[in-house]
Amino acid sequence: MSEQKDIYTFKVAICGDGAVGKTSLINRFVEGTFTREYLVTLGVEITKYGREVRGDEVNLIFWDLAGQDQFSKVRQRFFSGTSAAILVFSHEQSEEGEKSFQHLQKWLDHIRENCGNIPIILFGNKVDLNPEDLYLDDSYQKSDNNLKKLASDLGLLDYFKTSALTGEGVMSSFRILTHELHRISKERANRS
């Protein structure tokens, strides 16, 4: 007689400024693809991903939230029922990249305000851009060690360096989140 597998479904909000690569990260993870063409997310895009974790079926429903300010009023209604969040900024050496890093606290406050104490991980995306310049001058604050410490200080699960273009860090970071959500749910079920 075969053991019945449990089925878990988690809603995961992907948050961060516009053009940091949120949609590209999801596409890289779910479909293994990357598109250079930038299309603004209008409101929210929903993508489903399923896999087996320790004999159970785990489904992630990614809610890719528009990062532009004009969508801030509608964004709140999309947070209902969120199990975890991924907070994304860009390592790109540009004004937009720097702003995306400076806005992390704003996004984190928004997530916690609407979702409470859920698991949140930090992605520093676009590490493929200007890699030789990533940690020079005032960008030293974005070194791996400093970002790991920042994630810990903010109460986040972890920090991951990612590139939707090359795939660097994408599969492992999403899998860690998947396993963490499964672990938390199993622990809750065992306490019940």
Q: Do the domain assignments include residue 114? A: yes
**Quick one: pLDDT at residue 70?**
55
Residue pair 168/127 in contact by the 8 Å Cβ criterion: yes
**Quick one: pLDDT at residue 78?**
84
Q: Do the domain assignments include residue 70? A: yes
pLDDT in tens, 149-187: 999 999 999 999 999 999 999 999 999 999 999 999 888
Distance CA 33, CA 42 (A): 21
Percentage with pLDDT > 70 across the chain:
84
| Domains held by the chain: number | 1
Distance CA 112, CA 43 (A): 19
Q: Do the domain assignments include residue 168? A: yes
Q: Cα 78 to the chain's mean position, in Å?
A: 15
Q: Do the domain assignments include residue 1? A: no
Greater confidence (133 vs 127) lies with 127
**Quick one: pLDDT at residue 1?**
47
In one letter, which amino acid is 145? N
Angle at 50 between CA 71 and CA 180, to 5 degrees: 80
**Quick one: pLDDT at residue 136?**
42
Give just the sign of the alpha carbon dihedral 166, 41, 26, 147. Answer: positive
pLDDT in tens, 103-132: 999 999 999 999 999 999 999 999 888 655
- The answer on pLDDT for 80 being more than 70 is yes
Q: Do the domain assignments include residue 18? A: yes
Q: Do the domain assignments include residue 28? A: yes
What's the rounded mean pLDDT across residues 35-48? Answer: 73
Return the CATH number at 146: 3.40.50.300
Q: Do the domain assignments include residue 2? A: no
Boundaries of domain holding 46 = 7-191
Q: Do the domain assignments include residue 143? A: yes
The CA-to-CA distance between both ends of the chain, in Å, stands at 26
**Quick one: pLDDT at residue 190?**
82
Q: What is the pTM of this model?
A: 0.87
What's the rounded mean pLDDT across residues 38-67? Answer: 84
pLDDT in tens, 6-28: 999 999 999 999 889 999 999 99
